[in-house]
């Protein structure tokens, strides 16, 4: 057998090329870090991102009342963050490959902390949005590195376990985010959601300075591909903007058509530019790797159901014509779902290390579909007990597919491209999230959901 290529669970791996530089930030003589310490640090950073992504939903009414801002500015408090992350997450992953994943994560944590402080101290909509934008920049640097450091710290036969823990942390963070946001907002102030985020980010950065020392897999710095970075940022920004604004501007509006046209033109130009550069921002040959493409597809399906349920369940649960829950109770009602995601993610990681990824991922997709069908059978008159079977089965499916596709995809890439691969997977995640909220909102309204007199006045 050719030692440069190995086959595992039906996935053909590209050659695992040796890293072309020594340890991350410590030179060639640094001892490799403890995998457990790397996993703990990456999980702590990921937990911060997951909680911050969903905690804002519980704080939005208090923010609007305190800063006296309208619904448009309030919606952009969520939108500008998603826009920044989606537009720059691939660049963040590529910078991690060239500067080192340790450097990328620490820089991302510090930028995220700075943005959190600005949000917490903001007295106007402008400062609030600026802080959220800076948070998005930090998250774009940090998110790919939370996956890439695991690819570098763990051997291929342990990738399932490591990425399974990643998925479990992500699932529980997304689920408890609204609860944490609700408790902090009710008991202290909405500002403590971001004061707490800043403190957490700084603590993780201090720990990561030591626990991530000596990571391998860094490419030599060849300069930043500025044309590629600009085209990618413009293309992804226009695409996410179009998805986000369809419910506001209308699917056939000139602005939406222009946004989609801009995205298509920029991404097409990106493909041409990158194919001609010796050191591109995005190596197009990675898109020919079947395992990475499958990882992107699995991540897309996962994000559609993960974000879709988290977003629309809160609207449904707080509607007076449905469950009529408070914001805190609605968040609490999703904890069983989060527990299923957490448990399934932990268990599936070890299973994938033993039997490969193909069958577990297929089983996860089946569970996701069955759970969605069970939820589709419920209606406005359904009680919470009627929702439990669907949310439980869907939680198992989401937990299985939250990290196992990405683990398979990253394991198929050379270590020095782990950040770039993680960036591609995560941009698919954010695009799918923007798409499901946009299309789901249109369906929600078309089905007559505007007649539900929810507590947010929708």
Supply the pLDDT for residue 148.
81
Determine contact, residues 129/77, Cβ cutoff 8 Å: yes
Which is the CATH superfamily of the domain at 33-224+281-451? MFS general substrate transporter like domains (1.20.1250.20)
Alpha-carbon span 74 to 83, nearest angstrom: 15
pLDDT, tens digit, 9 for 90 and up, residues 292-338:
788 888 888 888 887 777 777 766 776 666 667 776 677 677 777 87
pLDDT for the residue numbered 107: 92
Nearest Cα to 100, choosing from 20, 200, 15, 205? 20
Instruction: Report residue 217's pLDDT band, with 50, 70 and 90 as the boundaries.
Output: low
How far is it, in rounded angstroms, from Cα 338 to Cα 324? 21
pTM confidence score: 0.73
Looking at residue 113, what is its pLDDT? 95
DSSP code for 293? H
pLDDT at residue 19 tops 70: no
How far apart, in whole angstroms, are the C-alpha atoms of residue 411 and residue 95?
19
Burial 129-163 (b: 16+ CB within 10 A, else e): bbbbbbbbbbbbbbbbbbbbbbbbbbebeebbbbb
Average pLDDT value for residue range 144-151: 82
Domain boundaries, the chain: 33-224+281-451, 225-280
C-alpha dihedral sign at 194, 196, 199, 200: negative
How is residue 110 written in tokens?
């510090």
Write the pLDDT tens digit of every residue in 352-395.
778 777 888 888 888 888 988 888 787 666 677 777 888 888 88
- Specify the pLDDT at position 12: 34
**C-alpha 53: how far from chain center:** 9
- Residues 23-71: pLDDT tens digits? 454 444 567 778 888 888 988 999 999 888 878 877 877 888 888 877 6
Local structure of residue 58 (DSSP, 8 states): H
| Contacts of residue 300, Cβ cutoff 8 Å, sequence gap at least 6 | 428, 429, 431, 432
């Amino acid at each position: 057998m050719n030692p440069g290529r190995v086959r595992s669970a039906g996935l053909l791996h590209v050659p695992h090329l040796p890293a072309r530089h020594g340890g991350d930030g410590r030179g060639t003589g640094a001892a490799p870090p403890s995998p457990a310490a790397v996993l703990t640090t990456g999980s702590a950073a990921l937990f911060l991102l997951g909680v911050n992504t969903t905690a804002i939903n519980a704080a939005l009414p208090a923010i609007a009342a305190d800063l006296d801002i309208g619904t448009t500015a309030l919606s952009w408090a969520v939108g500008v963050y998603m826009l920044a992350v989606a537009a720059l997450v691939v660049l963040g992953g590529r910078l991690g490959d060239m500067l080192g994943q340790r450097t990328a994560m620490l820089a991302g944590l510090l930028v995220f902390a700075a943005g959190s402080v600005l949000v917490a101290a903001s007295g106007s909509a402008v400062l609030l949005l600026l802080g959220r934008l800076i948070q998005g920049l930090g998250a774009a640097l940090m998110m790919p590195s939370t996956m890439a450091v695991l690819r570098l710290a763990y051997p291929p036969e342990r990738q399932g376990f490591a990425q399974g823990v990643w998925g479990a942390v992500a699932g529980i963070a997304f689920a408890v985010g609204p609860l944490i946001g609700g408790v902090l907002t009710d008991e202290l102030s909405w500002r403590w959601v971001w004061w707490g985020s800043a403190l957490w980010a700084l603590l993780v950065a201090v720990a990561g300075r030591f626990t991530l020392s000596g990571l391998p897999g860094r490419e030599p710095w060849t300069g930043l591909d500025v044309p590629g970075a600009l085209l990618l940022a413009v293309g992804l920004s226009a695409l996410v903007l179009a998805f986000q604004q369809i419910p506001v501007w209308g699917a056939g509006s000139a602005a939406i058509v222009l946004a989609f046209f801009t995205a298509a033109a920029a991404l097409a130009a990106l493909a041409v530019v990158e194919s001609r550069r010796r050191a591109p921002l995005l190596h197009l040959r990675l898109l020919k790797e079947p395992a990475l493409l499958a990882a992107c597809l699995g991540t897309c399906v996962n994000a559609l159901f993960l974000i879709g349920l988290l977003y629309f369940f809160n609207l449904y649960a707080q509607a007076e014509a449905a469950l009529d829950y408070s914001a805190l109770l609605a968040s609490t009602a999703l904890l069983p779902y989060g527990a299923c995601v957490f448990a399934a993610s932990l268990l599936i990681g070890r299973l994938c290390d033993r039997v490969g990824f193909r069958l577990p991922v297929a089983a996860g997709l089946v569970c996701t579909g069955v759970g969605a069908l069970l939820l589709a059978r419920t209606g406005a008159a359904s009680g919470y007990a009627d929702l439990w079977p669907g949310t439980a089965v869907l939680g198992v499916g989401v937990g299985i597919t939250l990290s196992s596709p990405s683990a398979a995809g990253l394991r198929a890439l050379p270590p020095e491209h782990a950040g770039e691969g993680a960036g591609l997977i995560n941009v698919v995640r954010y695009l799918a999230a923007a798409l499901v909220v946009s299309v789901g909102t249109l369906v929600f309204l078309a089905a007559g959901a505007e007649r539900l007199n929810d507590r947010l006045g929708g």
